[in-house]
Amino acid sequence: MGIAWLAALTLSACLELRGLPPPVALIIDDLGYQPRHDHDAAALAPLETFAVLPFTPFGRELAEQLHAAGKEVLLHLPMEALARNELLGPGALREAMDRPTFVAALEAALDAMPHLDGINNHMGSLLTGDAERMNWLMSALATSRPGLLFVDSRTTPHSAARQAARSAAVPYLARDVFLDNRRTPAAINARLEDLVRHAELRGDAIGIAHPHPETIAVLRTRLPMPGRIRIVSLASLRAERACRARVAAWQGASVAAAAQREQGGDEAEATEQPHAER
């Protein structure tokens, strides 16, 4: 269910989506270093979205394979964190970079990964909280890759990415639930239930997980969870959000029109003035 198809949906088709379980996009992060675990994750049939680290031994080949299989490919872009920056890996964006160096590093990472549908941050608790650097990032994306989606992994509660993306007209989504900060089956199952509840309450949800053996085992057992959620791509989730907004606007207009009909008859006749439409 791609975004181009959903963009053409009629209002009646959008209304029919309300009867379906809520959509959930689940991103598998940190791919590119461990081919066995990466391929185990990619083989989880319901999953649609995979985030691959740049300049890794197996990342580019994996991105080609994922694209050939019809999956979404994100650049999992390393960004400086408040701690443990030894885990960033190559190609990281750092706060000490001046703007030309920062943009050049971004472009190099983008060019290193084929078939990109978007990017999300790897780590980044320092950099995503820096409004100036986020403005540099979004401005560069808007210029060189217009329409490319940015997914905020939300590694800090102080992220400046949303406002920067809005200012630069960069498509933006944000993670709702991390599944495997604790790598026990019980903890992963509990966080999966949190993801489902979020989707049920909010209409959709975005989760992030990693190709850990414990995570793969839980997802292999639990997914696709028919009747509770639908696993979809980020593109489909965005399109369904737009569809729900369209339905809500139509419902609001219908309620307003009904209220106007109920309240406006005598008053309109007395003033003999046309009603202004909003």
6 assigned to some structural domain = no
Residue 278 lies inside a defined structural domain of this protein: no
Phi, psi of 166 (to 5 degrees): -60, -45
Mean pLDDT on 2-20: 69
For residue 247, being part of any structural domain is answered with no
- Residue range(s) defining the domain that contains residue 62: 21-239
Alpha-carbon distance values, 251 to 21, 151, 168, 192, 204 (Å): 20, 30, 31, 32, 20
- The per-residue pLDDT for 258 is 65
Q: What's the CATH number where 122 sits?
A: 3.20.20.370
Is 121 in contact with 77 (CB distance < 8 Å)? yes
- 65: in domain: yes
* Mean pLDDT, residues 222-235: 97
Please tell me the predicted confidence (pLDDT) of residue 251: 82
Decide if 31 is inside a domain.
yes
Confidence of residue 64 (pLDDT cuts 50, 70, 90): very high
Model confidence at 8: pLDDT above 80: no
Read off the pLDDT of each residue in 3-17 and give the average, rounded to a whole number.
67
Residues 151 and 211: their CA atoms lie apart, in Å, by: 19
Is 162 part of any domain? yes
- For residue 79, the Cα-to-chain-centroid distance in whole angstroms is 17
Closest CA to 136 of 171, 108, 101, 184: 101
What number is the average pLDDT over the span 110-137?
Answer: 99
Percent of the chain with pLDDT over 90: 80
Overall average pLDDT of the 109-122 stretch: 99
Radius of gyration of the chain (CA): 22
| pLDDT for res 273 | 28
**How many domains does one find in the chain?**
1
Confidence grade of residue 105 (pLDDT, cut at 50, 70, 90): very high
> What is the rounded average pLDDT of the residues 222-243?
96
Confidence of residue 264 (pLDDT cuts 50, 70, 90): low
Mean pLDDT of all residues belonging to the chain: 91
- Residue 259 has what pLDDT? 63
| pLDDT level of residue 11 (50, 70, 90 thresholds) | confident
pLDDT of residue 211: 98
Asked whether residue 37 is assigned to any structural domain, the reply reads: yes
Is 121 a residue whose pLDDT tops 80?
Answer: yes
In a domain, 228, yes or no: yes
